[in-house]
A and B are shown apart, each in its own frame.
Chain A
């Protein structure tokens, strides 16, 4: 009796007519624990999907194999995977690798045209290489086909900028998402590059989160100068390793906020624009901030060190992925867990809103898969509204890519309850967020060169000369492949 009443309560909850708090109270009354409630919800979602006018069992008995990166998104997917298996009768195998080696595995699998993996996790930038090389499938062929896609999938519920960021025509300089673009991947989770700050430290210093880049530099200098007598070690954490990944988070977000671009596009011919006067001025400000107030071994900093430092209380703030702070805030193993605030950051005093460059963990389909239709079933389930909601509310699928999840009261309650300023940061940043790089096939090479130049400037090289050298080097690279 209590089971059927609980099922009806879950139904009401899934229709958005009951809050999570009321659902939990009801479950308590019926003597149902949290784990059992989670299971029941999964079953209910599965039953609702199975009742659709769509043959979810079409590929029953088929086994697909995934290549995945170790990530909370992956953990969230695995926690719900039994529901997919029950819904479709399919089996799902997966290999999971740590991020350090993950993309090496993807490159090895795809460049060898292996059919071992049917779908894989990727970043949108990677598809600028994989897509034109014919390594991943154009998902438009599946999304637009009503015979292959379930009626409640609702592709338009995915944040528009993210959908666009995962598509590209393959023509250097074309804007991602423009007419003629192919959908090389589908967004699964994303990161906005904003400011995460230690509220305790800022309160002690009598400061509010920075209003612009100059104020950020001043605040970071204050924290670094006063490190000796306090708990923190330095002011501002940003990435600095010799990798493209140093440029794409805070640096590119700030660069774009000043209206600066990486390339000038003259009808498909690209010219490096890092050495414009405005860009040189921006670089000087950034280098000044890092050199005076960044970590001492900045040139070895990846997202991992940036996150660890804010988590351990070594840095006062970071300008990096918002989810870093979110995960460190919620993990009691971190010394400063619970002390982080989030702030949508507008570096340029003349700009009206933040313009974060986005990193999007996406799902792509191997073009060498022999089970593309079956793989698509998993992809549409994984990225579908029901699983996205479950990931956002029940698990740690932060940031979800569906607007419906952000609009959900339960998700809102969950985030506001743990991470002050996170929702405000999202709301102020999402409209200006996109990939601010120029889409082009040498993205990783040119952006890694940019990071190397930034390292040189941070260690004392003349900014103007280094950027001139960088621009001419990149122009030579583009010329070599006929793009300059």
Chain B
């Protein structure tokens, strides 16, 4: 198997970018007003599209012959960007589509979290004249951490099982540059009819997911207790 590097990069960068973007958007939309409500609904739309379809839409958007993204990029001097056709750019392309589809998921979770935070610590901070950045790093983020962890867990588990976006955009290529467990298992099952090998790979994937779930749920419980404790003090 030659996909350790792409495997790690894909999952790691995807989740980090989605978390940062999702948190940023959630913070911008945290205040309840009609504009934020409308934007919230609009931003969730990519999540309504099946990832396989989203990939096909992106394939058309980045098509070098007629894709609008390439057309727009040509205005800033970027011609013939290789997207999923080159090992150097394929991970960027996969991450971009994944981020487009799944950032709204993180955003929804964190927005729900933000809106459910108790008001008292923030009011107390206001009265004490605590600066905004201090409030964010010392009150908002710690209290939001169980939500961030939950969102990360969901996205990590989903990313590890990611198949549709990768298969639709690159089939694991060019060469082996975006090959991951799931695509390999699919090929083993349906193209090579090597069902035993595919099943073995899927069992390994299941074990990884199970282990990660276990660790995350444990941490989540600890954090929840810690956060409640801090709030009570």
Interface residues of A (CB under 8 A from B): 103-104, 107-108, 111, 129, 133, 233, 241-244, 295-300, 309, 312, 314, 442, 444-445, 448, 452-453, 455-456, 458-459, 461
Interface string of B7-36 (1 = CB under 8 A from A): 000000000000000000000000000000
- How many angstroms between the C-alpha atoms of A118 and B4 in the bound complex? 43
Which of B95-103, B120-128, B153-161, B192-200 forms part of the interface with chain A? B192-200
Contact, CB under 8 Å: B80 / A296: yes
Interface string of B74-95 (1 = CB under 8 A from A): 0000001011111100000000
B152 CB, min distance to chain A CBs, angstroms: 30
Q: Which A residues are CB-close (under 8 A) to B171?
A: 241-243
CB contacts under 8 Å to A, within B136-193, are: 169-176, 187, 189-193
B65 at the interface (CB under 8 A from A): yes
Say yes or no: A297-B84 contact (C-beta < 8 A), given A242-B174, A243-B171, A456-B175.
yes
Contact, CB under 8 Å: A458 / B84: no
- Residue tally, chain B, CB below 8 Å to A: 28
- How many angstroms between the C-alpha atoms of A244 and B191 in the bound complex? 9
Contact, CB under 8 Å: B174 / A448: no
Contact, CB under 8 Å: A299 / B192: no
B64 at the interface (CB under 8 A from A): yes
Contact, CB under 8 Å: B193 / A296: no
Contact, CB under 8 Å: A242 / B172: yes
Q: Which B residues are CB-close (under 8 A) to A458?
A: 174
Closest Cβ neighbor of A447 among chain B residues: B191
Say yes or no: A129-B174 contact (C-beta < 8 A), given A297-B82, A459-B86, A459-B87.
no
- How many angstroms between the C-alpha atoms of A286 and B187 in the bound complex? 26
Q: Choose one: B65, B176, B189; the contact of A295 (CB below 8 Å).
A: B65
- How many angstroms between the C-alpha atoms of A300 and B171 in the bound complex? 8
Q: Which B residues are CB-close (under 8 A) to A243?
A: 171, 191
Q: Please, could you name 21 A-B residue pairs with CB atoms under 8 Å apart, sorted by A?
A: A103-B190, A103-B191, A107-B193, A108-B190, A111-B193, A241-B171, A242-B170, A242-B172, A242-B174, A243-B171, A243-B191, A296-B64, A296-B80, A297-B82, A299-B85, A300-B169, A442-B192, A448-B192, A452-B173, A455-B175, A459-B86
Report whether over half of chain A's contact residues are helix, strand or loop; otherwise say mixed.
helix
Contact, CB under 8 Å: A107 / B172: no
Contact, CB under 8 Å: A445 / B176: no
A243 CB, min distance to chain B CBs, angstroms: 7
Q: Which A residues are CB-close (under 8 A) to B195?
A: 111
Q: Which A residues are CB-close (under 8 A) to B174?
A: 242, 299, 452, 455-456, 458-459
* Among all A-B residue pairs, the 10 with the closest Cβ atoms: A242-B173, A296-B64, A456-B175, A455-B174, A242-B171, A297-B85, A299-B174, A299-B85, A445-B192, A104-B190
- How many angstroms between the C-alpha atoms of A243 and B187 in the bound complex? 10
Contact, CB under 8 Å: B63 / A297: yes
- How many angstroms between the C-alpha atoms of A103 and B169 in the bound complex? 19
- How many angstroms between the C-alpha atoms of A243 and B84 in the bound complex? 15
B224 at the interface (CB under 8 A from A): no
Q: Which A residues are CB-close (under 8 A) to B135?
A: none
B147 CB, min distance to chain A CBs, angstroms: 38
- How many angstroms between the C-alpha atoms of A444 and B64 in the bound complex? 29
